[in-house]
Amino acid sequence: MNNPASMQDMVKHAFANMRGRLTPQAPLGPRTWFRVGGAAEWLFQPADAEDLAGVLQRLSPELPITALGACSNVIIRDGGLEGVVVRMARGFADITVEADGIIAGCACLDATVAEHAAQAGLSGLEFLAGIPGSIGGAVRMNAGAYGSDIANVLDWAEIITRDGSLIRLDNAALRFGYRRSGLPEGAFVIRARLRGTPANAQDVANRIAEVRAARELSQPVRARTGGSTFRNPDAETSARKAWELIDAAGCRGLRHGDAQVSEKHCNFLINLGNATATDLEELGEDVRTRVAQNSGVSLHWEIKRLGKTEASPK
């Protein structure tokens, strides 16, 4: 949008009857797990699905819009995000337990859903305890760990499309692949139903404890990080996982300023304290280059990188 006055008019019209909160120039860095990044031109926190749908129906297609969840698997670039950033919170955090599954709002943390499943004596969702982030993001990227992923357990997801329509999509319609889904462009996940199998509650709780212990042992969970940086190559490309390729290329502990490849798990980047988004992204690109030179394998980012690299001049 090159005309600030025109954008102001669009925003004023779209949000005239909202019930949520709209904040101009909202800092996003403190909301991300890396603790880096610029501001959102406008940050909208809708009250509920109806509130979001109403705004989308009035919002000009010309206005850029970005969905953010728990910000656990994202680098917000230092120049921030143009247009409207939508972040779902309390109005999207309901959990309903059923006999053979759970319906969870998009803002529910994955680990919280795993805990509810354990309390209800439902197995099959323990892997969620090992995935940082929220259900909306998990559906969007088909998050997975410890032998399972969302595609294995999802019955349906409700979404709101860019024009404000509410649609329910079944598993097949989402066209899941490795760390991706076929969600329509600009769609927002609102809630999802995840299948579980009745089981002994203590057995499920024990399995969750095992997942958490394994994660604590192998990953830098107490650092400023963002989950796995790169997707594992497919079997036809390489038999080795991303971390093995990174390690073989000599990147364990590699630093750019305060951005570092974790020494504990080298498919994780960490912010040692004062890293910028640029530091983290440049470090990741350096790792990709070194891996390609060493093994011939091109690693692909799993972490989402969003926004402008530099702030606009004042």
Tell me the catalytic residues: 179, 228, 302
* Rounded Cα gap, residues 22 and 6, in angstroms: 18
Of the candidates 100, 117, 110, 98, the residue with the CA atom closest to the CA atom of residue 201: 117
DSSP, collapsed to helix, strand or coil, labels residue 294 as helix
For residue 98, which phi and psi values (nearest 5 degrees)?
-115, 175
Strands 166-170 and 148-149: unpaired
CA distance 153 to 206: 20
- 51 within 8 A of 65, measured Cβ to Cβ: no
Say which residues have a Cβ less than 8 Å from residue 269's Cβ, sequence separation at least 6: 34, 225, 226, 229, 259, 260, 261, 262, 280, 283, 284, 303
Single out the residue of 191, 179, 145 nearest to residue 52, CA to CA: 191
β-strands 39-45, 81-87: how paired? Answer: parallel
Q: Degrees (nearest 5) of the Cα angle 197, 203, 208?
A: 90
